[in-house]
Structure 1
Amino acid sequence: MHLDPRRAVPADRQAIEEIVRQAYSPYISRIGRPPGPMSDDYGRLIDAGRVYVVETEGTIQGILVLVPEPDAMLLDNVAVALSARGTGIGRRLLEYAEHSARAAGYRAIRLYTHETMTENIALYSRIGYTETHRAEEKGLKRVFMVKHLV
């Protein structure tokens, strides 16, 4: 299995949007509306070079969106196809995000998730992220987290 992410190209957009739909649809009832990543403009993000994908046997199985910010790399989105859950793709994407942040000279990587996505908060805590604050943005109650890179 080839788990090295590559930068997404416009032809990947439909597969990316499908993975995002699969990953985030289960949270709609919990949040009461679609999570933020479901309304992102993936065409624009791909054109800006912010989206990375992992393929197995020619099929995109995971996506990562990284956004450089002044003081940290923003891990804007990570999602894995339902059929690829438990294969290590998500872990590989998270490792790649940290590697990319370090390579770009950042000393921290940050993310946010919805407060009801408790599984994600627990996962991020286990891999070294710490909560910095909670705030409401765009009508969504978000938990902000950071990981300091060494």
Structure 2
Amino acid sequence: MQDTPVTIAPAAPEELEAIRALVDAAYRPYVPRMGLLPGPMRDDYAAHLAAGRLLVLRAAGQVAGLLVLIDAPGHLLLDNVAVAGEAQGRGYGRRLMDHAEAEALRRGYDRIRLYTHVSMVENIAIYARRGYEETHRAEVNGLHRIYMEKRLR
């Protein structure tokens, strides 16, 4: 699988079912820990697609990861990053994060922001290692979130 062609590009409407399945598989393990559905499992991916905010990582032509990027005042919001379970361990998460940060710069932002649930400690550690710093915490729709930011310049 080392030579598998990998691309990151806008999602296509026919990929919505695969995208929803990927999100469900990626976030379902957190449900018992959180006691409720994580935010990404509540999202409207057809709306993200229609708005041009949904990108997919394709490996050998199959959806193996995704990004939801939202333009916001003064920054790019990395609203979601997920990798299919069977595709984990191949560096796809790093590629997606690198792409999001490069896209923020391409769009003229000097910072990128994200948020995650406080119980997703593994993700928080990954983001911190990448240079993201906590800015604040808040509760949104019953979800206890940690907000993080990375300055890109």
TM-score range for the pair, normalised by the shorter chain length: over 0.9
- Kindly indicate whether the alpha-carbon contact (under 8 Å) linking 1:20 and 1:38 is maintained by their aligned counterparts in 2: yes
Structure 1 gaps of 5+ residues are: none
Q: CA deviation at 1:71?
A: 1.3
Equivalent residue for 1:33, pick from 32, 36, 55: 36
Equivalent residue for 1:84, pick from 79, 83, 87: 87
Is 1:126 the counterpart of 2:129? The answer is yes
Quote the sequence identity (%): 50
Looking at structure 1, the residues matched to 88 and 118 of structure 2 have their Cα atoms a distance apart, in angstroms, of 22
Structural mapping, 1:1-150, within 5 Å? 1-150=4-153
Query: What SS does the corresponding residue of 1:23 show, helix, strand or coil?
Result: helix
> Match for 2:74: what amino acid?
D
Looking at structure 1, the residues matched to 144 and 22 of structure 2 have their Cα atoms a distance apart, in angstroms, of 23
Structure 2 gaps of 5+ residues are: none
Can you list the C-alpha shifts for 1:83-115, whole angstroms capped at 9, x where unaligned? Answer: 000001111000000000000000000000000
Query: What SS does the corresponding residue of 1:106 show, helix, strand or coil?
Result: coil
Q: TM-score, normalised by structure 2?
A: 0.96
Q: Size of the alignment, in residue pairs? A: 150
Runs (4 or more) in structure 1 with deviation over 2 Å come to 1-4
